[in-house]
């Protein structure tokens, strides 16, 4: 459970260059979906990381994360890797963490990015083909 000052949900609508975010501390279900190619991704992902750190301070037992990108630039990729690293630490501390990495059927590059993150972190991902509107 999140503290009284921390919202139970974090929902950020998608923009032209930032993904949709829906994190729910009650269910432990997190979704990041869309395109992420802001020139300065740090402010966007800082708010996500702050929320997740507060969530993780409650010592959750189960977290289910779906990440699906149409496009991911280098700046955003660095932030996603940092975010995954934080979540991986929670797994080490006993959180059952499931990561679904979604990508479009013909997007070998984004599939490879997920495989690289999974390998670098030693964190198994489930890979899933997704469709975007």
- Reported as a single tens digit per residue, the pLDDT across 43-98 is 999 999 999 999 999 999 999 999 999 999 999 999 999 999 999 999 989 999 99
Q: Would you state the pLDDT for residue 3?
A: 47
Sheet holding 20-24, edge to edge: 9-12, 20-24, 29-36, 62-72, 96-103, 125-129
CATH for 9-129 is 3.30.750
pTM for this model (two decimals): 0.91
Structural contact between residues 83 and 42, judged by C-beta atoms closer than 8 angstroms: no
**Do 98 and 74 touch, CB atoms closer than 8 A?**
no
Q: How confident is the model at residue 13 (pLDDT cuts 50, 70, 90)?
A: very high
Q: Where are the domains of the chain?
A: 9-129
What are the pLDDT digits (tens) for 92-125? 899 999 999 999 999 999 999 999 999 999 999 9
From first CA to last CA, the distance across the chain in angstroms is: 33
């Amino acid at each position: 459970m999140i503290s009284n000052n921390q919202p139970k949900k974090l929902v950020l609508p998608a923009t032209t260059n930032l993904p949709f975010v829906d994190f729910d501390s009650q269910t432990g279900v997190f979704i990041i979906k869309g395109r992420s190619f802001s020139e300065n991704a740090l402010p966007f992902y800082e708010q996500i990381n702050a929320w997740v750190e507060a969530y993780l301070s409650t010592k959750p037992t189960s977290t289910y994360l779906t990440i699906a990108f149409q496009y991911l630039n280098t700046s955003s990729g660095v932030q996603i890797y940092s975010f995954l690293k934080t979540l991986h630490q929670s797994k080490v501390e006993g959180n059952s963490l499931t990561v679904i990495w979604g990508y479009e059927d013909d997007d070998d590059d984004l599939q490879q990015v997920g495989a690289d993150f999974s390998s670098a972190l030693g964190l198994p991902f489930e890979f899933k083909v997704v469709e975007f509107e």
